[in-house]
């Protein structure tokens, strides 16, 4: 561990938060060529977690990935605001509009592109961002023919591990899966007294399967803002999900 007052020890991972520009220039000259961008959100997580669950998970995931991929990868600061209009009936949630969100992400890429980076990986911690990130990939490919870009929700990358540990019929937000990840990656966002989701009845099987998607606010799906049962969350389950996702993403990025 770096002791207070010392600043000459080799960092274990590269992040703009800790680098000066000459240090970054030197690392780029020596081969740092991959930018890792954590995408979070500021949105309610029921009574089970703070507004920073997604940002903390995305940032923690990217920090660990940058550590594994040192010195090739550079972590940049997490984006704390994204697309959460469906959570706006819960006080405290902050959302961007889709055009703003896409513009911010493209301008982050544009800035780093102008400094010479050509490879970008977005680690997404918030389900509501998925459609926009899919659109962003097409847009980036159109506007910057010489870049490589990918995004992934790390929960999806390890969905088999997630499903092995989930007991609830309905899950996916402030649930045992998400709060376990938060325990592992961002424990300060996790509340001590965690409760099951207060899920409202839905009996159409195609809606339940996700084949039919009604326009709903989150309080029309769950009264307390949670799905699943976060009282079953554990640090060990979070570790299994995240370390599996890290293995898989790192393997993918090794040849990126």
Binding site for Zn ion (CB under 5 A): 53-54
- Per DSSP, the three-state class of 222 is strand
d(CA 170, CA 166): 9
Q: Which is nearer to Zn ion, 73 or 185 (CB)?
A: 185
Rounded to the nearest whole angstrom, what is the least distance from the CB of residue 125 to Zn ion in the complex?
Answer: 7
d(CA 13, CA 27): 11
Sheet with 148-153, side-by-side order of all strands: 14-15, 73-75, 34-39, 119-124, 148-153
Minimum CB separation from Zn ion for residue 41, in Å? 7
Min separation Cβ 251 and Zn ion, Å? 25
> Residue 152 CA to chain centroid, in angstroms?
8
- In this chain, which residue has its C-beta nearest to Zn ion? 54
Choice between 53 and 79, CB closer to Zn ion: 53
Nearest approach, Cβ of residue 182 and Zn ion (Å) = 8
Shortest Cβ distance from residue 189 to Zn ion (Å)?
9
Q: How does strand 119-124 pair with strand 73-75?
A: unpaired
Helix, strand or coil, per DSSP, at residue 178: helix
Is 74 or 83 the residue whose CB approaches Zn ion more closely?
83
Q: Between 12 and 156, name the residue whose CB sits nearer to Zn ion.
A: 156
Residue nearer to Zn ion on the CB measure, 53 or 76:
53
DSSP state at residue 46: T
Phi, psi of 25 (to 5 degrees): -55, -45
């Amino acid at each position: 561990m770096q002791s207070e007052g010392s600043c000459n020890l080799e960092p274990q991972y590269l992040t703009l938060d800790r680098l000066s520009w000459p240090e970054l220039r030197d690392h780029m000259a020596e081969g740092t060529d991959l930018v890792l961008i954590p995408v979070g959100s500021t949105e309610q997580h029921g009574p089970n977690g703070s507004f920073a669950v997604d940002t903390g998970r995305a940032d923690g995931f990217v920090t660990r990935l940058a550590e594994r991929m040192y010195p090739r990868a550079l972590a940049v600061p997490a984006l704390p605001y994204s697309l959460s209009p469906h959570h706006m009936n819960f006080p405290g949630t902050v959302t961007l509009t889709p055009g703003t969100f896409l513009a911010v992400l493209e301008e982050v890429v544009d800035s780093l592109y102008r400094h010479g980076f050509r490879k970008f990986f977005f680690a997404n911690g918030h389900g509501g961002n998925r459609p926009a990130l899919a659109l962003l990939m097409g847009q980036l490919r159109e506007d910057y023919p010489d870049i490589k870009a990918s995004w992934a929700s790390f929960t999806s990358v390890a969905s088999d591990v997630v499903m092995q540990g989930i007991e609830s019929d309905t899950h996916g937000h402030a649930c045992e899966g998400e709060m376990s990840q938060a325990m592992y990656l961002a424990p300060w966002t996790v509340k001590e007294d965690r409760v099951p989701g207060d899920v409202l009845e839905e009996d159409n099987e195609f809606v339940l399967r996700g084949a039919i998607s009604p326009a709903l606010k989150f309080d029309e799906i769950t009264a307390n803002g949670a799905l699943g049962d976060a009282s079953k969350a554990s640090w060990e389950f979070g570790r299994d999900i995240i370390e599996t996702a890290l293995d898989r993403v790192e393997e993918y990025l090794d040849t990126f």
